[in-house]
């Protein structure tokens, strides 16, 4: 490659880099404009938030409506009808109760596929 070809290749490379720098400059200005817009919006929201407690104090509290006596009695009655089931005993590490459970329920699994359709439980 002679000197003239090298100079031309260098000029083309610099021109391409100049174009890329121009695009980068435009992108940076666009980003800066968006950051400025976000900053302005955030400042507006902060100002509104600072003013909000005074406005919120003027809003009356919501009024709770009392249930009719029949509805409140039925709601209390359904809670009382549900059985109280104590939590199970903590596992002590002894596998014997588990073996008894499995024997009493006759759990069988297929050796080829362990999908849920192969699991069968039958009570003895």
- Residue 107 contacts residue 121 (beta carbons within 8 Å): yes
Residue 90 lies in a domain: no
The domain tally of the chain equals 1
pLDDT in tens, 64-81: 776 665 555 555 566 668
**pTM of the entire predicted model:** 0.37
Residue 21 lies in a domain: no
Residue 123 lies in a domain: no
Residue 16 lies in a domain: no
pLDDT at 45: 93
- Residue 110 contacts residue 118 (beta carbons within 8 Å): yes
Q: Which domain holds residue 32?
A: 26-53
- Residue 120 contacts residue 108 (beta carbons within 8 Å): yes
Average the pLDDT over 22-44 and give the result.
Answer: 96
First to last CA, the chain: 94
How far apart, in Å, are the Cα atoms of 31 and each of 22, 41, 48? 14, 15, 26
pLDDT at 40: 96
Residue 79 lies in a domain: no
């Amino acid at each position: 490659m002679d000197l003239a070809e090298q100079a031309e290749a260098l000029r083309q490379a610099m021109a391409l880099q100049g174009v890329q720098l121009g695009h980068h400059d435009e992108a940076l200005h666009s980003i800066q404009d968006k950051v400025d817009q976000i900053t302005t919006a955030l400042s507006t929201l902060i100002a509104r938030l600072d003013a909000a407690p005074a406005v919120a104090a003027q809003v009356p509290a919501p009024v709770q409506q009392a249930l009719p006596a029949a509805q409140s009695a039925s709601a209390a009655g359904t809670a009382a009808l549900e059985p109280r089931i104590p939590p199970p005993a903590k596992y002590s590490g002894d596998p014997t109760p588990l073996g008894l459970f499995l024997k009493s329920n006759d759990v069988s699994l297929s050796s080829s596929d362990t999908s849920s359709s192969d699991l069968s439980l039958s009570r003895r």
